[in-house]
Amino acid sequence: MTGYEIRIGLEIHVELATNTKIFCGCAVEFGAPPNSQCCPVCLGLPGSLPVLNRAAVEYAIRAALALNCTINLYSEFVRKNYFYPDLPKAFQITQDDKPLAVNGLLRYYLGDELMETQITRLHLEEEAGKSIHSGESIIGSEYTSVDYNRAGIPLAEIVTAPTMNSPAQARAFLEQLRLVLQYAGVSDCKMENGSLRCDANITVHPEPGMRVEKVEIKNLNSFRALERALAYEAERQVRVLERGGTVMPETRTWDERAQKTVRMRVKAGAPDYRYFPEPDLPPLELDAAWIEEIRSTLPELPLEKEARYQEAYGLSTYDTGVLVRAPQLAQVFEATVAQGRDPKFVANWVTGDYAHLARLGGTVSAEHFGQLLDMISSGAISAAQGKTVLQEMFARGVSPREFVAEMGFTVIADRDFLGKVIREVLTGHPELVERYCNGEDRLLGFFVGQVMKATNGRAEPRLVNKLLVEALAEGRNWQPRAE
Ligand SMILES: [Zn+2]
């Protein structure tokens, strides 16, 4: 791949999370029985007229503001004409040369590097219906059914500049875009349900400035599919060029099973959609005050939150990354820290055991979680016991204080008893003791672990640590010191 420059642009369709469709009052509910959420308007029956849903406009504006776009106070709807069975009117109402928003910018991290990609435009349009083939694809199917429940769901189409230089960058962009849209509350962005869909275009340039043809890739249903399809396609195009061939402008699809892109159609000139202004909808004229009102309700967005966590709490980039990507974890973290607890201590527990248990299902209130952390940090119970308590809190919703009292959890802070355990551990590992005495400090962790194991995790770890350091300093003939 050396010597070639890759340029990638993305086109993303996001289903806006309104209660009803964009031009009629039909409900939008994922998984409803086929054709149960349709009316004359979204079925395109003669004589029916569209009425624009204010909430769809509001959600699109929220999305555009979260992506730093300029909102056009004047935009227009047009008809895009093409024939396909899932499009009952034989045209789609969309926006063309006067879109809702332009000139946005999204910042995101690729590894440790902060990147930015320009958003060329964001416009509103209606979703098409869904073809359901009797076989695996249209080829070889006996028949195809169409479900119009999806027809007329509001979509925001987001187009980026073709400036991303690697498949990994395109993936990082899309992951951040999804997070920002989720924070803005405009869509659930579930790629598996199709509420966030992405097409990509890619060109491979042998020399800067040389004109090359664009290849589009469709059917990218996951972040992994996006990254793999682009990597495959970049390599394929380089192979063609190395053989002295020419890359054809074409539309390809990602074959998940074969893990390769496959040609769908060769592009012979731009398709003629015969765009013309939608006669049944007036131009969309917005009030600047309404836009400012929407802007004022936008929450803190992921990058701002990340920066605040690092500055205000001194958290690592790893911890902030985990918290910011899972808003419910960030919420628990903030609520628990707000009561004056040590942020790093809280972050360790939230990104560790709490995150793991939350992934398995269930939730624990910040109040109960805080009580548990207080018992651990005060030494009333050990960290190992704390893990068990947290598991029970997730599994059965127990109160940590009551559960600890009920189970009789206590920590062992008896110096004589711990001294005896420590002596057994040290006499059991004479070689390691010698190595420690010769300067291998890191072995201390091993000895602590052995003592914790021998006490079923009930020993007070700080005391174990202290006693072990003393014992090892005095050699193997150590006796517990009287206080
Ligand atoms: Zn309808």
Whole-Å CA distances, 101 to 181, 184, 198, 201, 473? 15, 16, 19, 21, 70
**pLDDT at 190 (0 to 100):** 93
**Per-residue pLDDT averaged across 375-395, rounded?**
89
Sheet with strand 78-81: strands edge to edge: 91-94, 78-81, 276-277
Range ranked top by mean pLDDT from 117-131, 395-409, 418-432: 117-131
Prediction pTM value: 0.81
Distance from Cα 93 to the centre of ligand 1, integer Å: 14
**Per-residue pLDDT averaged across 69-73, rounded?**
98
With cut-offs at 50, 70 and 90, classify the pLDDT of residue 478. Answer: very low
**Per-residue pLDDT averaged across 136-155, rounded?**
91
**pLDDT at 480 (0 to 100):** 46
Distance from Cα 153 to the centre of ligand 1, integer Å: 9
**pLDDT at 269 (0 to 100):** 67
Q: Which two tokens stand for residue 308?
A: 């605040």
Q: What mean pLDDT value characterizes the chain?
A: 91
81, containing H or E segment = strand 78-81
Distance from Cα 91 to the centre of ligand 1, integer Å: 16
361 compared with 372, residue with greater pLDDT: 372
Distance from Cα 43 to the centre of ligand 1, integer Å: 7
- Residue 411, pLDDT > 50, answer yes
- Residue 94, pLDDT > 50, answer yes
What is the spatial distance between Cα 209 and Cα 205, in angstroms, rounded to a whole number?
Answer: 8
pLDDT-wise least confident of 145-159, 257-271, 442-456: 257-271
Distance from Cα 13 to the centre of ligand 1, integer Å: 20
Write out pLDDT tens, residues 292-339. Answer: 999 999 999 999 999 999 999 999 888 999 999 998 899 999 999 998
Distance from Cα 288 to the centre of ligand 1, integer Å: 30
List, as ranges, residues with CB under 5 A of the ion ligand 1: 24, 26, 39, 41-42
**pLDDT at 458 (0 to 100):** 79
- Residue 25, pLDDT > 60, answer yes
Distance from Cα 53 to the centre of ligand 1, integer Å: 12
The domains of the chain, with CATH numbers, are 5-291 (no CATH), 302-407 (no CATH), 415-474 (1.10.10.410)
Distance from Cα 177 to the centre of ligand 1, integer Å: 29
**pLDDT at 377 (0 to 100):** 87
What is the spatial distance between Cα 277 and Cα 481, in angstroms, rounded to a whole number?
Answer: 91
Write out pLDDT tens, residues 176-229. Answer: 999 999 999 999 999 988 999 999 999 998 877 777 888 999 989 899 999 999
**pLDDT at 482 (0 to 100):** 44
Distance from Cα 473 to the centre of ligand 1, integer Å: 80
Q: How does 3-37 read in b/e, with b if 16+ C-beta sit within 10 Å?
A: eeebbbbbbbbbbbbbebbbbbebebeeeeeeeeb
**pLDDT at 479 (0 to 100):** 45
Distance from Cα 135 to the centre of ligand 1, integer Å: 28
- Residue 137, pLDDT > 80, answer no
Distance from Cα 14 to the centre of ligand 1, integer Å: 19
Distance from Cα 96 to the centre of ligand 1, integer Å: 23
- Residue 270, pLDDT > 80, answer no
pLDDT-wise least confident of 139-148, 178-187, 416-425, 452-461: 452-461
With cut-offs at 50, 70 and 90, classify the pLDDT of residue 66. Answer: very high
Q: At what angle do helices 383-396 and 366-377 cross, to 10 degrees?
A: 160
Distance from Cα 154 to the centre of ligand 1, integer Å: 12
For 371-428, give the DSSP string: HHHHHHHTTSS-HHHHHHHHHHHHHH---HHHHHHHHT---B--HHHHHHHHHHHHHH
CA angle, 338 as apex, 332 and 343 as ends, to 5°? Answer: 75
**pLDDT at 207 (0 to 100):** 79
